[in-house]
Each structure stands twice: as structure tokens, then as C-alpha cells.
A and B are shown apart, each in its own frame.
Chain A
Amino acid sequence: MNVRHGGSFDALTWGQLLRSDALRDTQIVCDDGEERTARSVRLISHVDEVRSCRPGTVVVLQEPIADAAWAVEVAIRYAWERNACCVIGQLDPVAADSVIRLGERLGVPLGLHQGDLAQLALRLAPVVAEPDIVRSRLVAQCATRLASESSIEGGLRALNEQLPGVEVSLRHGHGPQAANDAVRHHVTKGGPTTIVLPLAALGLRTMRELVAVVEQPSPAWLDAVTTVLTIARAHVIAYEAAETLEFSALARTEEWLLDQLLRTVERGAGVPSETLARLGHPRGSGLCAAMLVPCDPEERADELMSVALRAAWPRRGGVAPMRYRDGWALWFGADPNDPDTGSRLARELDRTLTRLTPRFGLCAGIGDPVAEVGGLPHSLGRAHLAARAAQAGRASGTVVFDALGAKGMLVNARYVDLQPLLDESLAGLADAEDRDALLETLIAYFDCGASSSQAAARLGVHRNTVTSRLDRARRAGVPVDDPDHRLTLHLACYLSRSGG
């Protein structure tokens, strides 16, 4: 029974016919024009008969013209003029170069069948007459392929191979998962139709959608593609779950290996090369560590995030982030004598973090380059301090410890008992309306060696403004001019500005 929508015959396309079993033993040497429709089949022995074919005819040539290159070329030409679906002949593929080129030039699909051409025509006729059978078969083939795949990439590849004229992809969004998981169709007049199927949330994976762009959106074909996507939805979630498990195990293993590595280094023992290799340790002796921490200090670097980060990290070799302290550690091969190592790695890490999907909201720090793996704890420690500085908002992007100077110590100082003492030094400014401006002025004043004119230039204000603000601070009880308190005040201003 023909599939009818709105009373019209919803014909197969050449692409759909290609994937049907009917052409299993036909060599397709020119598969252009997947969108061409297949409406009927005609067995032809006189090449002029092609001129009377109706649009959408599957032209099967037979003796004495099927194996004559000139006749197949003329048939291709007539098929192009008549908008036929395709031409099937019986040429030797080696001798068919010019014929294949002509098919490609005119965009007429061409098949070479070395068996009985009349039998082929008989086999094709019911398939073309009952396109729903082919579409159902395609759905079944997709289901089978999806079941045999084990990864998202494999599943998407299978769908794109099986569904002619359809481009299937997995789109990642951001934010909370939408409650409505209904299928949506976006129709472009005279163009492709986009089918969107939301996927259920899985851990940190939210707002994912299976998207299919259908070039030839006939109603029956849209039905078939929607059915395939619905089947694919469960498979994709299963692939994701399997991937999560896999990366969870991997992340755990790597964490354990890192722990073993650091313990071994602390003992001063040699690190087994196998451990380094499993972690993706770069070749060569020099390295430079990096730390990633959540930009939001309230956010925890938990296992869920570790797995998601490990899954999203680019698979191009090298050390991937491993959970360490309150963030994730990794390191790169680096020349300890190269003064540009830190900035180069910072740019590289910035690029990687920008491209991560989903976006994790991570700050990064780069430690000092060291000559051998024994220096890893040192480099990691510095990277951690730099990451903390980045977290505190002292600098944008990835922060290099070496460029941080004393600020590295200051940023991390709020975690020691020094903090209350420093806070008391600025107690007088607690209620001041222009507290922030006074703090910035004090920092600039102290940074510039107590020069009010240099501080004014740095702040971009008039010198009198600086003098006036310093006077207000003095009136509030801040000992600006007392040499014994100057260092304390300097530190306190930095910490107060960071919100510590």
C-alpha cells in the first residue's frame, strides 16, 4: 500500500532506495542526487525509450545497450532531461570512467549491476511501488545499528549513514533541563525541516537535544525520521551513562595514580615509567603544572564534576585534569629555561577552557616550570596559589604564578590567622560610604611608595583628590602615616578589596 499524505503518493527518494535491500548487489558508481524521487521502474532495451520516461523513473537498461558505454551515456543524458531517478547499466567499472564522469557532471545517479537486469527490475518494482516498506526497513536498520553501537559518536554516525538527506547531531544547551520533552518541528518554507527531541537530564548533562535536519521533508519521511530519533533517544542516554561510568572509573584510577606519584616523589624514590605513561606524562624531563578550581568558591570540586570534566576534556594525549585538593591538577611538558613557558601555557589552557562543553566555570593557575618530575609537588603548589588568585578575581583568565608576585601570597593569606588582625587595621573605614574608593587610593598610595602624585596618575584622578581621600582615611582613624603600621595597612587593603 502506498503511503499517502494529503492524497498524494509519498514517493521514495534515491537515497532511501539506495539503502534498501533491493540494490544490495548493484555497485553504485555515482550516488549524487540523493533527493531524486523514485516513482516507477522501467526496463529498457532501446535507448530512445528513455526519452519517454516519466520523471522519477528508475531506468534499468538491458541488452543490447546495458553494456555499451555510448548507450549508457545517452541514457544518462535522456534521464537528466526527463528528471528520471537513476540509470542502472552493466558496464565494466574499469571501462566506465567517462560514463561515471558524465553521471557526476549531470548529477544523475548511476549503478552497475552484473547480474540479471530483468530480475533486478522485477525486484525494484514492488519496492518503488510500496515506499513505506523501505522506510520501515530503514527504521529497523537504524534501530539495529543503534543497538550495536556503544558511543554517542558511533550512534550519530550510524544515523547519518542510514538516513539519506538527514543530518543528525547532538546539541548541548545550558541551564536547567526543560520539563517538556515533546518533539518539536521547525519548518523552513521550501527548505529543510528540523526535528528536535530533548533528552532527559543525566548528572551534569542537561539541555541536550537530538536534532535532525531533514532536506526532503515529505510527511511520511518526517514520520520515519521522528520514529528513528525517538528510538535513538534512549540509546543516546544509555551511551552517555556508559560513558559516565567509564570516565568515573578512569578519573578514580588517575586520582589514585596521582596520589601514588606524589607520595613516591615525596619519599624521594623513582617514579615508575608505567605510572607516568598511564597518566599521559609528556616525553622529556621538564614539566609545568596547572590547577583548575571552580570560579565560584562555594562550588565544590566533587566527583560528578570530575567525571564530567574528564569526559569533556580534549582527547589529544597529555595529562587530563585529576581531582586534587579543592580542584583538578594537570601538567604539561615544558622547558624550565624558557621564560615564556607560563604565558604560553596560560594561553593554551584558556583556549581549552573556552571550548569545553558544557561550560564548567573554571579558573586556572599555572605553576613554576620544573626540570623533572620530582619538582611536580612544588609546581602544583604554585599552580594552586595562582588558581586561587584567579578565583579571587585578581586577574582575568588563567593566572601564571610567576606573574602574580606578592599578590599570590596575599590572596591566600585569608586562610590563616593573620586575617582578623589585618581586618582591625581598617575598622575605621567599615561604615564609610566611599570605602571602596578609599581602599583603592590607599593601595595606590602605598604601591607608589607613599607618593600622592604618582598615586593620582595611576588612579587617573587629580592629586588633590588623592590628598583629600587620604585625609578622610586619617580622620577615620587609619594610621596612614605611621611607619610601624604601613605594611599591615598595605596588606589589609589588598585583602579587603578581594572581599576576604
Chain B
Amino acid sequence: MSHYLTADDFTDFLMGSQLGTFSAAITFPGAMESWVHELLINHGPVHIIDEPGPELAPALAVASCAVGSLPALLEVPPNGDEARIVIEELEKLLGDRVAAIAPLNAAGPNALLALAAACQLDLPLLNCDGQGRIFPLIDQTTYRLAGISPGPMVGVGPWGDVVRITSTPERYEPLVRSALTPAGGWLFTALYPATVTELMRGGIPGALTRCLDLGRLLRESQGEAGEQLVRGYGGQVVGRGHVTGIHQQDTAPPSRLPARPISILIRDWGPAGATIRLEVRNEVVLATVDGHVAGASPDLICLIDPVQRRALDLIELRPGALAEVVVLPADPRWYTDQGRDLVGMGAFGLPLASPEPRRPR
């Protein structure tokens, strides 16, 4: 079973994908928005695979994503041939042709880059992803939970440096992280090579169509974007108010996470005047209301601009900004013991129990 993603779908896809990330929802994808849209017009539509046929099922598929510094990605944007380079290099390494691509995460820039790669290489996109949002590390995926190794993997940097890594599954993240600075701040990567069937089984199904649907819900909402999302996907609207503080911790305990911890305080407009606290460890991993835990990773915690009905991101956020906080349920696999070990509160250095699974609608 399959369908096509056309240029007409682009706006909904973009808006929906932005909900899955707080670190790069608007600012960075905004820079590549017109490029990807043009690719879709000229080379689209993109074939979206929901259920692979017998020919495609055993064929080789890979996930793709950009790893590293988003400011660097904005300063030195991709040349446009990165997808071709990494796919060709990986095909050489594996001695097989890549038949389909899946996004590592269908959120923010990586959703757009996967779409661009599919357009440029004329490959179908698998309707799944490995995170259901952006988690900061490349091994925080359901692909990994399913036993698929991140490698062999290939990356290419802004200056054309090609990085090939073949190692044990747990060493890919530190190895690729160490290659980032010399490579120029970011690497476009092809990773998690597996058969189409394996990658789709390991991934979170319907990730791409979910982006389209979330984008449509936001577009159609009438001043109640949060409620609209919750009606569609479950979860809860935590609150709405003005940002009163954004604090970055100067000192942070040793961690695998690339960015320093940040705390965001929002004064809720409710009659109690509660304080909503968001703890950001690359992405928002905890939301409390007057100390009550309203959402915690792996819950998807989104910040929405209720006036413009779109996702907010960390770079544009300023004290005084109006924000609505919404918690959406994550894929059920993230609430298993193995899932919590990988992306629960402990994985972000916060000694707090992860929440019980939320019931999706």
C-alpha cells in the first residue's frame, strides 16, 4: 500500500514536522524550506510506502539524518549532493543498491532532508521514523530497540569530507560525535541499513502521514490549536501563558547530551496563576505545573504559538512570548522498560520516574 506526497502537501508536512522538535522547529528548517519545496515541485511527488510489496520488502533501505550543530547547518548549508554521496558510499560499502529511504526522525530539518533525498535520488520514502520526534542521540531510536545496528554508516560534511564508520552498535554515537567538529559542525548521514521490512518493523509506523495530519490540525484549528491536537492524538493541554524566564545552566553534570540544560518558566493564564516549568535537554523532556509533573520524556512536549498556530522553537523564544504547552503521547514502545532506559528521564540525567503510557486517541 502506498501513496504520494505532493507539493500541495508541503505546508502541512512542514508544520506537522515542526511539532516534533523544540530545538529546531522554525528557525533552521525555515532556511531550507524553499529549497525542499522547489525540489518537490520539480522532482516530486514522492512515493510514500506504507506496506512494502514483495519486491521491495527484502531490498536494502537506510535511514537518513543530519547530525551535529544546527547553527553550523544554517551557516554552511548543504550543497545538495550530500544524499547522493552518502547513499553511493554506503552502497559501495555494502555491495547492494539502496531501494528506499526512511527519516531517522520525521521532525524539523531531518524530515525535510529525507524528503529532499527522496526527490533527488528518486527513491521512495518509508512511512516510518525511528524517534517519532527528535531525540538528540542517533542511538535513541526504535530501530535500535528492534536490534538494528546504526552502522555501517556514512556521513558527509559541509566541505565534502566523507566519514565511514563500522563498529559495534553502542560506539556509533560517540564516534560520529567526535567526527563532527573536524568535519565542519555537521554531517549528513545514511545509517541503520536494513531490509525495508526490518526498518519498517523497527520504526514508528505512519510517521510521515502523522506530520501531514498534525499540520492539517494546526491549520484548521480556530484559536485552539492545543485542544485540536489533543482531540486528535490524546494527551493534554498543560497550560497557556507568557514566558517569564529562560535560564541556561552554566555548569552541568557530565552527560552524553550535546547541549547545556535550559529551564523555561511560563506564567499560566489560569486563575491559579501557576508556574509552568519546562526542562530542556536538547529537547523539552519535562513539563511541570507548580511542581506537578504534567509531562516527561518519552512524552512529546510541544510549545505552540496559539496566535500563529504553529510550533515555537528555542531560538526564537523570548521572555514575554505567548506560548501554549501541549503534551502528546509517544509511541508505545517508548514506554516499555527498554524504551525508558533509552529515552526516559534517566537518559537525560534527570532522576525522576518516567510517566505511565498515555492513551493515544
Within 8 A of B (CB), among A12-50: 45-48
User: Which of B72-80, B143-151, B163-171, B285-293 lies at the interface?
Assistant: B285-293
Docked pose: A101 CA to B291 CA in angstroms? 11
Within 8 A of B (CB), among A56-72: 64-65, 68-71
Within 8 A of A (CB), among B302-361: 349-353
Docked pose: A105 CA to B279 CA in angstroms? 21
Q: Looking at the complex, which one of A47, A74, A80, A98 makes contact with B275 (CB distance below 8 Å)?
A: A98
Contact residues on A (Cβ < 8 Å of other chain), bracket: 20 to 34
Decide yes or no: A70 and B290 within 8 Å by CB, A48-B353, A65-B351, A98-B277 being known contacts: no
Decide yes or no: A71 and B352 within 8 Å by CB, A64-B253, A102-B275 being known contacts: yes
B288 touches A73 (CB 8 A): yes
Q: Is A95 part of the binding interface, using a Cβ–Cβ cutoff of 8 Å?
A: yes
Docked pose: A48 CA to B351 CA in angstroms? 8
Q: Is A187 part of the binding interface, using a Cβ–Cβ cutoff of 8 Å?
A: no
Docked pose: A77 CA to B290 CA in angstroms? 7
Residue of A75, A101, A105 contacting most chain B CB atoms (<10 Å): A105
Q: Which residues of B contact A101 (CB under 8 A)?
A: 275
Q: Which residues of B contact A45 (CB under 8 A)?
A: 351
Residue of A65, A68, A101 contacting most chain B CB atoms (<10 Å): A68
Q: Is A76 part of the binding interface, using a Cβ–Cβ cutoff of 8 Å?
A: yes
Mask, A279-311, CB within 8 Å of B = 1, is 000000000000000000000000000000000
Within 8 A of B (CB), among A69-107: 69-71, 73-78, 80, 95, 98, 101-102, 105-106
Measured between C-beta atoms, what is the minimum distance from B104 to chain A in Å? 28
Q: Is B247 part of the binding interface, using a Cβ–Cβ cutoff of 8 Å?
A: yes
Q: Looking at the complex, which one of A46, A70, A80, A95 makes contact with B288 (CB distance below 8 Å)?
A: A70
Measured between C-beta atoms, what is the minimum distance from A111 to chain B in Å? 16
Residue of B275, B279, B351, B353 contacting most chain A CB atoms (<10 Å): B351
Measured between C-beta atoms, what is the minimum distance from B274 to chain A in Å? 8
Q: Which residues of B contact A74 (CB under 8 A)?
A: 288, 291-293, 352
Q: Is B265 part of the binding interface, using a Cβ–Cβ cutoff of 8 Å?
A: yes
Interface residue SS majority, chain A: helix
Mask, B244-269, CB within 8 Å of A = 1, is 01010000010000000001010000
A105 touches B290 (CB 8 A): yes
Measured between C-beta atoms, what is the minimum distance from A154 to chain B in Å? 41
B277 touches A77 (CB 8 A): no
Measured between C-beta atoms, what is the minimum distance from B353 to chain A in Å? 5
- Total residue contacts A-B, CB cutoff 8 A: 53
Q: Which residues of B contact A80 (CB under 8 A)?
A: 291
Q: Which residues of A contact B263 (CB under 8 A)?
A: 69-70
Docked pose: A80 CA to B277 CA in angstroms? 18
Docked pose: A105 CA to B263 CA in angstroms? 20
Q: Looking at the complex, which one of B286, B291, B353 makes contact with A77 (CB distance below 8 Å)?
A: B291
B351 touches A46 (CB 8 A): yes
Docked pose: A77 CA to B292 CA in angstroms? 6
Question: Which residue of chain B has the shortest Cβ distance to A68 in the bound complex?
Answer: B350
B253 touches A70 (CB 8 A): no
Measured between C-beta atoms, what is the minimum distance from B13 to chain A in Å? 34
A71 touches B351 (CB 8 A): yes
Q: Which residues of A contact B350 (CB under 8 A)?
A: 68, 70-71
Measured between C-beta atoms, what is the minimum distance from B291 to chain A in Å? 3
Docked pose: A76 CA to B288 CA in angstroms? 12
A76 touches B291 (CB 8 A): yes
Q: Looking at the complex, which one of B245, B265, B288, B290 makes contact with A106 (CB distance below 8 Å)?
A: B290
Measured between C-beta atoms, what is the minimum distance from A67 to chain B in Å? 9
Q: Which residues of A contact B288 (CB under 8 A)?
A: 70, 73-74, 77
Question: Which residue of chain A has the shortest Cβ distance to B352 in the bound complex?
Answer: A47
Measured between C-beta atoms, what is the minimum distance from A75 to chain B in Å? 8
Q: Which residues of B contact A73 (CB under 8 A)?
A: 277, 288, 290-291
B277 touches A70 (CB 8 A): yes
Docked pose: A65 CA to B293 CA in angstroms? 15
Q: Which residues of A contact B293 (CB under 8 A)?
A: 74
Q: Which residues of A contact B291 (CB under 8 A)?
A: 73-78, 80, 102, 106
B351 touches A102 (CB 8 A): no
Q: A-contacting residues of B (Cβ < 8 Å)?
A: 245, 247, 253, 263, 265, 275, 277, 279, 286, 288, 290-293, 349-353
| A70-B350, A74-B293, A74-B352 known, 13 other contacts, Cβ within 8 Å | A46-B352, A47-B351, A47-B352, A64-B253, A68-B350, A70-B277, A71-B351, A71-B352, A73-B291, A74-B291, A77-B290, A101-B275, A106-B291
Which 5 pairs between the two chains have the least Cβ-Cβ distance?
Answer: A77-B291, A73-B291, A46-B351, A48-B353, A70-B279
